[in-house]
């Protein structure tokens, strides 16, 4: 069956990347295909007819969402009317679940086949949401295998397509080349610090991470530390914190390299990584590097998370493996002393690091499945049958 029309709604830049990859794959298979919806510059370059700008849905936080709710409901109504008038073969929402699942449900009830790309964290908290998801979509496309297992358990049609980051990153990386690119000593033990990509994460983590690095530099002669800054503003904050640390102690003097971006090079160059939880942990795993995950948050947020989250781990490498491969220090446990102790043991044991790097390489290979092509397979199957009759191989 030739696909003629696909409606796609992405909510942020990460969704724009996924959407563009899917569109590119579908265009190769169906040259006359057309796309409408919401996307960013990559999706527009692939031929999307955009109904609203990408940042239309970029609203974070309960207060902000409540403030913009009337506008978001209006946008949803307009997209629903547009999709019903256009009559696509399939409508796909990419991430942005609070917005997209509602739109998908409305369109599915109106007879349009729907799919959702990137599972919300329903497996971790508010698991009852899966009932609403089952009413909203004809298929869920997941990036990670344990997510697909969750949907199978709840009898929701699912396709595990793999993770685009796993496709993007090579199965073999070059530590020496990464150190050369960052002008680091090619022979010295190297620690990468990734305290976060948001101002709030820098506030909660950066000073403690630098204090842990100072303790490690006291114990390991020649240890070098590389700290990538996600934005110029965050680099200024990191420079301020480092200057404050150096004013109290000179141990870190000449041992810390701040870079503008380059988090991937920093991880590949390292022997171990200290990072805040999030996508960075997955990226470190795909760079095959030993790591320690440490995360602090506002006390009220932590109190609420402890009562809502149903998983034993917060880091994606542990969730994917189903066991503790990466140590996690959360909230009050994330002290500089505890971080330095755990990282010191990693840096002292080259054999353990090598074994973990090999395990991560195997996990990387399992996730490297050609996500865009497999997502296109799922869309084609949905368009042909209205549902996934069997799982993708």
For 46, the 3-state DSSP assignment is: coil
**pLDDT value at position 309?**
62
CA distances from 149 to 123, 154, 160, 282 (A): 10, 9, 9, 19
**pLDDT value at position 362?**
96
**pLDDT value at position 61?**
40
Question: Where do the DSSP E strands lie in the chain?
Answer: 5-10, 34-38, 48-52, 90-94, 114-117, 139-142, 158-160, 190-194, 224-229, 256-260, 272-275, 290-295, 328-330
Domain boundaries, the chain: 5-162+369-385, 175-367
Q: Is the pTM of this model over 0.75?
A: yes
**pLDDT value at position 62?**
40
Buried/exposed code over 168-193 (b: 16+ C-beta within 10 A; e: otherwise): ebeeebebeebbeebebeeeebbbbb
Low-confidence ranges of the chain (pLDDT < 50): 59-65
Residue 192, phi then psi, degrees to nearest 5: -100, 135
Does 5-162+369-385 carry CATH code 3.40.50.2000?
Answer: yes
Neighbours of 68 (CB within 10 A): 15
Percent over 70 (pLDDT), the chain? 91
Same fold, 5-162+369-385 and 175-367: yes
Question: Where do the DSSP E strands lie in 211-300?
Answer: 224-229, 256-260, 272-275, 290-295
Residue 201, phi then psi, degrees to nearest 5: -70, -40
* Cα-based torsion angle of the residue sequence 277, 148, 321, 206 in order, rounded to the nearest 10 degrees: 0
Q: Order of strands across the sheet with 256-260?
A: 256-260, 224-229, 190-194, 272-275, 290-295, 328-330
Say if residues 180 and 196 touch (Cβ distance below 8 Å): no
**pLDDT value at position 312?**
76
In whole angstroms, give the CA distance from residue 99 to residue 348: 48
Neighbours of 229 (CB within 10 A): 23
Of 301, 263, 297, the closest CA to residue 282 belongs to 263
For 60, the 3-state DSSP assignment is: coil
**pLDDT value at position 389?**
61
Tell me which fold the domain 175-367 belongs to.
Rossmann fold (3.40.50)
**What is the chain's percent helix, strand, coil content, to nearest 5?**
55, 15, 30
In whole angstroms, give the CA distance from residue 345 to residue 200: 29
**pLDDT value at position 56?**
75
């Amino acid at each position: 069956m030739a696909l003629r029309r696909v409606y796609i709604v992405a909510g942020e830049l990460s969704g724009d990347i996924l959407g563009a990859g899917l569109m590119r794959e579908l265009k190769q298979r169906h040259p006359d295909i057309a796309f409408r919806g919401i996307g960013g510059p990559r999706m527009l370059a692939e031929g999307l007819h955009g109904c609203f700008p990408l940042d239309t849905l970029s609203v974070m936080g309960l207060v902000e969402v409540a403030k913009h709710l009337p506008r978001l409901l209006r946008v949803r109504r307009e997209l629903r009317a547009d999709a019903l008038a256009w009559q696509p073969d399939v409508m796909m929402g990419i991430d942005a679940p609070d917005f997209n699942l509602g739109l998908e449900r409305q369109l599915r009830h109106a007879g349009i086949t729907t799919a959702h790309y990137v599972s919300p964290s329903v497996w971790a908290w508010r698991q009852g949401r899966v009932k609403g998801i089952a009413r909203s979509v004809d298929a869920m496309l997941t990036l990670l295998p344990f997510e697909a297992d969750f949907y199978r358990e709840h009898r929701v049609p699912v396709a595990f397509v793999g993770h685009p980051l796993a496709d993007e990153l090579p199965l073999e990386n070059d530590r020496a080349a990464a150190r050369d690119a960052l002008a680091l000593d090619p022979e010295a033990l190297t620690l990468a610090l990734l305290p976060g990509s948001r101002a709030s994460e820098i506030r909660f983590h950066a000073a403690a991470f630098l204090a842990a690095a100072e303790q490690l530099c006291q114990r390991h002669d020649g240890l070098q530390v590389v700290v990538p800054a996600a934005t110029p503003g965050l680099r200024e904050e990191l420079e301020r914190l480092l200057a404050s640390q150096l004013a109290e102690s000179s141990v870190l003097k000449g041992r810390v390299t701040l870079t503008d971006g380059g988090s991937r090079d920093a991880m590949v160059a390292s022997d171990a990584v200290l990072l805040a939880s999030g996508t960075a942990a997955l990226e470190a795993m795909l760079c095959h590097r030993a790591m320690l995950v440490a995360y602090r948050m506002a006390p009220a947020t932590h109190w609420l998370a402890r009562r809502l989250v149903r998983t034993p781990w917060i880091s994606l490498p542990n969730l994917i493996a189903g066991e503790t491969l990466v140590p996690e220090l959360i909230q009050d446990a994330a002290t500089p002393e505890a971080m330095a102790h755990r990282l010191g043991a990693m840096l002292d044991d080259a054999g353990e690091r090598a074994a973990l790097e090999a395990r991560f390489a195997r996990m990387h290979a399992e996730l490297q499945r050609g996500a865009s092509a497999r997502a296109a397979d799922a869309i084609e199957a949905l368009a042909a049958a209205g549902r996934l009759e069997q799982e993708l191989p």
